[in-house]
Amino acid sequence: MMISTELNPLGERFGDEAAIRMVREAGFDAFDMSLFRMNADASYEPNGKEYRKYMEALRRTAEREGIVCNQAHAPFPSSYGEPQRDEAACRMIERAIACAAILGAKTIVVHPVQHLKYAVHAARLREMNLEFYTRLARTGERCGIRIAVENMWQYREEKRPDGRIWICDSTCSSAEEFCDYVDMTGSPWITACLDIGHAPLTGRGAARMIEALGHDRLLALHVHDNDLIEDAHTLPFMGKIDFEAVCRALAKIRYAGDMTLEADGFLRRIPEALYPRALSYMADTARFLAKRVEDFAADGL
C-alpha cells in the first residue's frame, strides 16, 4: 500500500514543485494534488490557458523525484444555488479533472452538491447530485480518471454550550446514502473517497462506513483525526478516532487503495523550520497505519 499526503499547505507557501520535493524527501510514495486552490486564487496556474504545460512540468518533476500523484482534490464548493455560478463551478471542476489526469492521478475527489439545508432538502440534493456526477462521470471517462464522491457534513444553526457550532448530517454522511451516491449513476467512473475524519462528526464510525462501502466502492481515503466535535484535520493519534478499528475494517474489505493523509490542520500549526521533521513524522504515521492494515489482512482479520 502506498502512503500519500496532500500538497497543501506546502504548495501555498512554497509552490507545487517545491512541495512535491518536500513530500518525497519526507518519505512519502505519492501525493494528493490540492487543486481546490483553483477556487481560492484566480491566478493559480491550473486556471490559466497554459494549464497543460504547468501540469506536465509538475509530472516531470515528480518523475525526477521518484514520486507519483495518486489522487487529487477538486475545487469546492461544488454549488452555490445560482445557475451561472454553479455552471462556472462545474467547469472549474472539469478543468481540475483534466489537470489531475495529466499528472497521472487515479482518482480525483469531488465534493457533492450540498448548498441546500440537508435536513429539509435531502431528496432534492440527491436529484441534483445525480445530474452532477453523471456529467462528471463522462468527463472522467474522457480523461481516464475516476471521480470520487466524499462524505460531507453541515453546520447546525444553534451553537453548543461551549460556543462551538454543532455539526450535523449532509450528503453521504450515512453509509446507506454514501453507497447509493456511488451506485446511482451506474457509471464505473464513480467511486468513493471516505473521509475518515468526517465520518464520526455526524455520529457514524468510520469503520462501519468502510465495511458498508466495501472493496468495490472504496478506492480512496482522506485520513486525519479530530476530537469528534470539530473538523480539525490533525494527524492520526492526536484526536479520538479509533484507528485500530479503521485499520481492521480496511483489512476486512481487502482495501486496495492508498493511505492518504489530509492532515493539513496539523502541519499549519508547525513552524516552517520544523517542516522537514514534521513531514517525516507524518510519513512514519501513514506508514504505520498502512502496515497495520497489511498485518490485519495477513492475520485474516
Q: What is the pLDDT of residues 187-224, one digit of tens each?
A: 999 999 999 999 999 988 999 999 999 999 999 999 99
Sort 13 into a burial class: Cβ within 10 Å, 0-12 / 13-18 / 19+: middle
Instruction: Give the Cα separation of 55 and 130 in Å (integer).
Output: 30
R_g over Cα of the chain: 18
CB atoms within 10 A of CB 199: 25
Mean pLDDT across 138-154? 98
The cell for 252 is 476486512
Whether 157 shows a pLDDT value over 80: the answer reads no
Q: Measuring CA to CA, which residue among 119, 126, 169, 2 is closest to residue 71?
A: 2
pLDDT of residue 301: 60
Please name the fold of domain 3-298.
TIM Barrel (3.20.20)
End-to-end CA distance of the chain: 17
pLDDT of residue 295: 96
Domain-by-domain residue ranges, the chain?
3-298
pLDDT bracket for residue 87 (50, 70, 90) = very high
Instruction: Give the Cα separation of 3 and 200 in Å (integer).
Output: 23
pLDDT bracket for residue 158 (50, 70, 90) = confident
For 53-84, what is each residue's pLDDT tens digit? 999 999 999 999 999 999 999 999 999 999 99
